[in-house]
Amino acid sequence: MSDTNPFDNDEGEFSVLRNAEGQYSLWPDFAPIPEGWQVVHEGSRRDCLDYVELHWTDMRPNSLIAAMGGDGRG
């Protein structure tokens, strides 16, 4: 029996989640959305990964960006 990680399923449907700190997460559609996160994009795994790559250009949490005098865009 082979255990498959649902986060690695290329055939699955996913959501991209974002939290208040501007951090992103790839989330399988069947799993409940954790508190503090909101859906910002939905699609295939590849589509969601592309979305994250395009939009998450600064890995620092928004609070750190603000503390360092940055603009806070995630």
- CATH number for the domain spanning 25: value is 3.90.820.10
- Structural domain includes residue 33: yes
- Give the model's pLDDT for residue 9: 85
- Structural domain includes residue 74: no
Q: Per residue in 42-57, is it b (16+ CB within 10 Å) or e — as a string? A: eeebeebeebbeeeee
Q: Which domain holds residue 53?
A: 9-67
- Structural domain includes residue 19: yes
What pTM was estimated for this model as a whole? 0.81
Q: Provide the domain count of the chain.
A: 1
- Structural domain includes residue 38: yes
Show pLDDT as tens, one digit a residue, over the chain (74 residues): 456 788 788 888 999 999 999 999 999 999 999 999 999 999 999 999 999 999 999 889 899 988 998 664 54
